[in-house]
């Protein structure tokens, strides 16, 4: 077979860009993952947002409840998802989120994962070259999801010393809109990650309303990615400053605030149910029928597996099981957070406190490194971030590096704590060895 280098010129310009060597070692890490017995020399992966704490319960439920019907071998109700699943999602979210306007089956579109849901919003709301607002730091895959195939510009918003989750941060988005206008870029949408990845916190109700008013002022779409909606938990370890509880944008009346056709929600099974591999996501838009019509024409490319839809519907239709599952998951998340915070304190690794959502913590490995190497001075820069990243890789432990998340401060890394305790202990031991190297 011909090499990549010898064949890259045969591709389109956009494909050539993607064929360049990747900066991320992630796919190589997946092929060499640590196991205490079968692969003790593999990578400890605490950089990918996966929750393994409830996999046994999830496996047990699926084994006992899944009898695949013959309709699963057909195209079913079409590319927007089965009517059964869309109805199950509407009923489940009505019960759990208490939306102001109750969800109906027709409000829900099914995709093969929320990544495709994100891309669909970029394709539907923006022309090539238009702008899509995204605050920093951000979920790393938002950038390609929004920009790669839709050819849309991601307008990243920095906040400096202002808390990105505060109401004061909203003004920075308006400045970004005006700055884009001045260079001829039209802003068409704003992505709100609520609860936030990687900060692990929730926006207050007042802050969400401020975003709604901003989007109304400039007539841009507000997309609330609520994939961690039920992955909130009690922080029993640190609570200063006080963390806001989760508020769904669906639960806020739009009257006198924003045109409801500009409000959209994304949700899925990957995070709240620890089922990244199930590949089922949802776009929820209650007042924009044109969006539903437009996506019907392209949803063939995001068609979810009918077997995955069947499993997801089984889960969401079982009120007792799903309520118990979410409650137990939240309890384990709280315990796992306390466990890793204890280890971080023991290893003298600073972290951002007051998390109460999702399953990661923002670590300051730059400060931790300098505390161990005082001869390096007191300044953490981008070069030191790269150096720490390489030290981590040398010790075969993978974390999310701050630059991939648009971090404004060097030396920050995201660690995922939703793994068994021996796995977390191994990760912290390797991180400490890396910092002391």
Q: Is the pLDDT of residue 239 over 70?
A: no
Q: What per-residue confidence (pLDDT) applies to 23?
A: 63
- For residue 175, the model assigns a pLDDT of 98
Report the pLDDT value the prediction gives residue 19, as an integer from 0 to 100. Answer: 85
What is the DSSP code (8-state) at residue 305?
P
Residues 386-409 pLDDT 10s = 999 999 999 999 999 999 999 999
On whether the CB atoms of residues 352 and 403 are closer than 8 A, the answer is no
Long-range contacts of range 212-216, CB-CB < 8 Å, 24 or more positions apart? Answer: 212/249, 212/252, 212/254, 212/257, 212/258, 212/263, 213/257, 213/258, 214/170, 214/173, 214/174, 214/190, 215/190, 215/258, 215/262, 216/257, 216/258, 216/259, 216/262
Q: What are the start and end residues of each CATH 3.90.1150.10 domain in the chain?
A: 4-55+323-436
pLDDT greater than 80 at residue 315: yes
CATH architecture of the domain with range 4-55+323-436? Alpha-Beta Complex (3.90)
- pLDDT-derived band at 418, boundaries 50, 70, 90: very high
Burial state string for 131-168 with b = 16 or more CB within 10 A and e = fewer than 16 = bbbbbebbbbebbebbbeebebbbbbbebeeeebbbbe
Q: Is the pLDDT of residue 411 over 90?
A: yes
pLDDT at 128: 97
Using one digit for the tens of pLDDT, what is the confidence trace for 269-289? 999 999 999 999 999 999 999
Q: Where are the beta strands (DSSP E) in 213-333?
A: 221-225, 263-268, 281-284
pLDDT band at 437 (very low <50, low <70, confident <90, very high): confident
What is the pLDDT, as a whole number, of residue 365?
98
Cα–Cα distance between 281 and 302 in angstroms, integer? 10
Rg (CA), the chain: 22
Distances (CA, A) of 237 to 214, 338, 341, 353: 35, 6, 8, 9
- CA distances for 306 relative to 68, 108, 110, 278, angstroms: 9, 16, 11, 11
Would you identify the CATH topology of the domain 70-318? 3.40.640
* Residue appearing with tokens 């909203």: 170
Q: Quick check: 48 pLDDT over 80?
A: yes
User: 74-86: per-residue pLDDT in tens?
Assistant: 999 999 999 999 9
pLDDT at 429 over 80: yes
Of the pLDDT bands very low, low, confident and very high (cuts 50, 70, 90), residue 6 is confident
Averaged pLDDT of the chain = 95
Crossing angle of the two packed helices 205-218 and 170-182, in degrees rounded to 10: 20
pLDDT confidence band for 20 (50 / 70 / 90): confident
> Is 28's pLDDT higher than 90?
no
pLDDT tens per residue across span 187-235: 999 999 999 999 999 999 999 999 999 999 999 999 999 999 999 999 9
When pLDDT is cut at 50, 70 and 90, the band that residue 14 belongs to is confident
By residue count, the chain amounts to 437
* pLDDT tens digits, 319-364: 999 999 999 999 999 999 999 999 999 999 999 999 999 999 999 9
In the chain, % of residues over pLDDT 90: 90
Band of pLDDT at residue 7, cut at 50, 70 and 90: confident
- What is the 8-class DSSP label of residue 435? H
**Residue intervals in the chain for CATH 3.40.640.10:** 70-318
């Amino acid at each position: 077979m011909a090499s990549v280098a010898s064949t890259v010129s045969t591709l389109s310009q956009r494909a050539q860009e993607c064929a360049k060597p990747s900066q991320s070692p992630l796919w190589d890490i997946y092929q060499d993952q640590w196991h205490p017995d079968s692969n003790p020399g593999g990578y400890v992966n605490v950089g990918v947002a996966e929750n393994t704490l409830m996999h046994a319960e999830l496996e047990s439920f699926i084994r006992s409840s899944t009898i695949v019907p013959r309709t699963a071998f057909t195209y079913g109700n079409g590319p927007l998802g089965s009517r059964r699943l869309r109805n199950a999602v509407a009923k489940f979210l009505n019960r759990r989120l208490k939306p102001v306007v109750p969800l109906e089956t027709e409000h829900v579109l099914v995709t093969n994962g929320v990544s495709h849901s994100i891309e669909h919003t970029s394709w539907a709301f923006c022309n090539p070259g238009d702008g899509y607002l995204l605050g920093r730091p951000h979920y790393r895959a938002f950038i390609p999801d929004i920009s790669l195939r839709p050819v849309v510009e991601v307008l990243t918003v920095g906040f400096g010393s202002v808390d990105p989750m505060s109401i004061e941060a909203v003004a920075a988005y308006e400045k970004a809109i005006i700055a884009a206008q001045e260079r001829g870029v039209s802003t068409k949408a704003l992505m709100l990650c609520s609860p936030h990845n990687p900060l692990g916190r929730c926006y207050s109700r007042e802050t969400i309303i401020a975003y709604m008013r901003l989007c109304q002022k400039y007539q841009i779409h507000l997309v609330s990615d609520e994939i961690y909606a039920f992955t909130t938990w009690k922080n029993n370890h640190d609570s200063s400053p006080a963390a806001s509880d989760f508020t769904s944008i669906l639960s806020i009346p739009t009257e006198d605030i924003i045109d409801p056709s500009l409000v959209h929600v994304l949700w899925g099974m990957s995070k709240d149910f620890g089922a990244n591999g199930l590949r089922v996501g949802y776009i929820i838009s209650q007042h924009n029928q044109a969006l539903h019509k437009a996506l019907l024409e392209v949803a063939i490319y995001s068609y979810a597996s009918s077997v995955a839809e069947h499993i997801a519907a089984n889960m969401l239709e079982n009120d007792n099981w799903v309520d118990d599952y979410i409650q137990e998951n939240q309890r384990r998340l709280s315990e796992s957070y306390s466990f890793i915070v204890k280890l971080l304190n023991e290893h003298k690794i600073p972290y951002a406190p007051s998390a109460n959502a999702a399953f990661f913590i923002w670590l300051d490995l730059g400060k931790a490194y300098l505390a161990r190497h005082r001869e390096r001075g007191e300044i953490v820069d981008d070069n030191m971030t790269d150096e720490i990243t390489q030290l981590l890789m040398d010790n075969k432990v993978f974390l999310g590096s701050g630059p991939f998340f648009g971090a404004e401060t060097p030396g920050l890394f995201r660690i995922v704590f939703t793994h068994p305790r021996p796995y977390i202990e191994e990760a912290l031991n390797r991180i400490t060895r890396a910092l002391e190297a």
